[in-house]
A and B are shown apart, each in its own frame.
Chain A
């Protein structure tokens, strides 16, 4: 059977599985819709959290980022895992003890204020929509590459599937589908990684293979030497400044802990102690992929250089042409020798503009102006994971498996995000703020309706991605770090933090971070985006950590000069701090 057919079968079978689970686990009450009734086993919740967390970016892009930026990519590895320590130690147990449905629920009750709740909803919606557009796009890319559908159709199919199980099953449906999706995606990630590690180093464990030797030389040393010979910086040393590395890592860690779709997963376990353990399991499941990614990245870079550099285009491996066909690889023969030369720097100015004609070697010609360096090949870093099985000559079913895994990663994250958006609209805005009189039935209908509406908006963003959004994934983390995380942390650990302080802190942190990112990332000021203009040398990606400091500073300053926290709220905080007496969320209210 050819790879194409196998891919249809794998992706189709995984869809059938997700739909089957959705039918089996329909939600009957708001509690089931929002938090799966609070009955999810900690290990199952750990898997669901891992799938929820690991997006198309983790699955498709991360190894590619590591491959092309080496040590500098450590910020993502540490940042996206270290946040779970903060979550498990500082937030999850207390939020579970609090025992409501959403993150704005906590902020609204703890700060005894509708304004605080609405500000939290606004933060949540901005964060979640920024994130979700990328997921839908990820589904589209996988479909277009492996199933040769237009990207738009890929997005529509993805929307249809998510629609079915998110709207029908709510959190309950999503949780059990995510467990299945985790299994699919981790299997799809590990199988090719193990194969490649075996091929290159003879060691089947990629984490150890990365430290193994090829021909008497450690892999990393060989990669460093190869790269330096070609004029790149060494793989194991970076080019970012220490302060920027520090700020980005901190913003990603704190942002991870403050992402609403991750936090809300810990509302679904039965007990406070389960919330702690569940965060541990989640990180184990995430670490399986995240410790594999550096190995995949390093092997891919080595493989790529060996199979492309100084290879005549005519005898280049088939995958070069396949990816060239969809525009993610481009070659321009600067010295007219018919041989591909690879080196640092962009081969030509800007994005590849294909003329539609082919050159003397059969390559797709581009009309871009050539640059002065000797590099002739443009490669999109996102193809590394997807192309890896082909680069390493693995069988067709591995390629098909990777396609199913990429779709699983994108769908699981999209569903989790859609759910927090719909819950914040139907529960926080409607039930708790504007229409308290509605019945549970109406609220459940509103939840399903807003999930459906959110899917349509997300799909539209996936089909028409504003170029701006693609660049601002950092926005989601920065905003979560600067707004929600400090508000929750102070709510638990500082009884003296009052309504005015928390609201002022959230608004200040959000506004400062948003302003800094928009300033440097918007098309109008793009020329400004460089270390010489950055505050303290901190890039927009890392500014969330400054936003967080601003949030804390403003909150404490304002709290000093405004009315103290009322005694019933102090009593509530005392109660949240001890695990005894945790109850499942109310079935109706």
Chain B
């Protein structure tokens, strides 16, 4: 396989892995906010954690914390993938 064909294949591979990672992280994004904070909030409010009803905590504190973590996980994982496939920007 020629170098340029290999590079093309790497770019395709990169995009597939990116989309897969996106789907996983967005599923978590959905679960902590729309899931725990809205749809299942009443069920979760039956549990008290650290002085908070759990559903309420997710809606006003927990989801925001998870959002921050998701972005940094994405940035770090993408950097690894880019390095492995040689498509990064440094």
Contact = CB atoms under 8 A, between A and B. Distances in A.
A581 interface: yes
Given A89-B26, A280-B68, A74 B37 contact: yes
A582 B79 CA distance: 15
A271 B89 contact: yes
Q: Report which residue of B26, B39, B41, B51 has the largest number of chain A beta carbons within 10 angstroms of its beta carbon.
A: B51
Contacts of B22: 89-90
> From DSSP, what is the main secondary structure of chain B's interface residues?
helix
Contacts of B67: 81-82, 84-85, 283, 287
Given A236-B45, A280-B71, A579 B64 contact: no
Interface stretch (A136-144, A212-220, A393-401): A212-220
Given A71-B56, A579-B82, A273 B68 contact: no
A579 B89 contact: yes
Interface string A234-247: 00110000100110
A577 B89 CA distance: 12
Interface residues of B, number: 44
A277 B56 contact: no
Contacts of A221: 51
A89 B74 contact: yes
Contact of A272 (B42, B59, B60, B89): B89
B87 interface: yes
Interface string A547-589: 0000000000000000000000000001001111110000000
Contacts of B89: 271-273, 579-582
A276 B74 contact: yes
B47 interface: no
Contacts of A405: none
Given A578-B11, A579-B87, A287 B75 contact: no
A88 B75 contact: yes
Interface in A65-100: 66, 71, 73-74, 77-78, 81-82, 84-85, 88-90, 93
A115 interface: no
A212 B52 CA distance: 9
Contacts, number: 139
Interface string B42-80: 100100101111001101110111011011101100110
A417 B12 CA distance: 37
Given A88-B74, A273-B75, A276-B78, A287 B87 contact: no
Contact of B90 (A73, A271, A284): A271
Interface in B4-47: 11, 14-15, 18, 22, 25-26, 29, 33-34, 37-39, 41-42, 45
A211 interface: yes
Nearest to B69: A280
Interface in A388-410: none
A81 B87 CA distance: 30
A82 B38 contact: no
Nearest to B85: A578
Contact of A276 (B29, B42, B75): B75
A339 to B, nearest CB: 33
Contact of B37 (A78, A207, A210, A581): A78
A367 interface: no
A213 B82 CA distance: 48
A77 B71 CA distance: 17
A74 B60 CA distance: 6
Given A272-B89, A273-B75, A276-B78, A242 B64 contact: no
Nearest to B22: A89
A127 interface: no
A283 B90 contact: no
Nearest to A284: B68
A423 to B, nearest CB: 25
A159 interface: no
Contacts of A93: 78
A273 B78 contact: yes
B73 to A, nearest CB: 9
A290 interface: yes
A85 B52 contact: no
B63 A580 contact: no
A84 B68 CA distance: 9
A170 interface: no
B88 A580 contact: yes
B38 A283 contact: no
B38 A291 contact: no
A539 B73 CA distance: 35
Contacts of B64: 77-78, 81, 287, 290-291
A332 interface: no
Contacts of A582: 89
A386 interface: no
Contacts of B52: 210-211, 218, 220
A579 B51 contact: no
A74 B59 contact: yes
Contacts of B50: 208, 211
Contacts of A78: 33, 37, 59, 63-64
A349 to B, nearest CB: 33
Given A77-B60, A213-B51, A85 B11 contact: no
Given A81-B63, A211-B51, A579-B87, 14 more contacts: A77-B59, A78-B59, A84-B71, A89-B71, A210-B61, A211-B57, A220-B51, A220-B56, A236-B53, A273-B89, A291-B65, A578-B11, A578-B87, A580-B82
20 contacts: A66-B60, A78-B33, A85-B26, A89-B74, A210-B52, A212-B51, A213-B51, A236-B45, A249-B33, A249-B37, A272-B89, A273-B82, A273-B89, A276-B75, A279-B71, A280-B71, A280-B72, A287-B67, A574-B11, A577-B11
3 nearest A-B residue pairs (beta carbon)? A211-B51, A74-B59, A280-B71
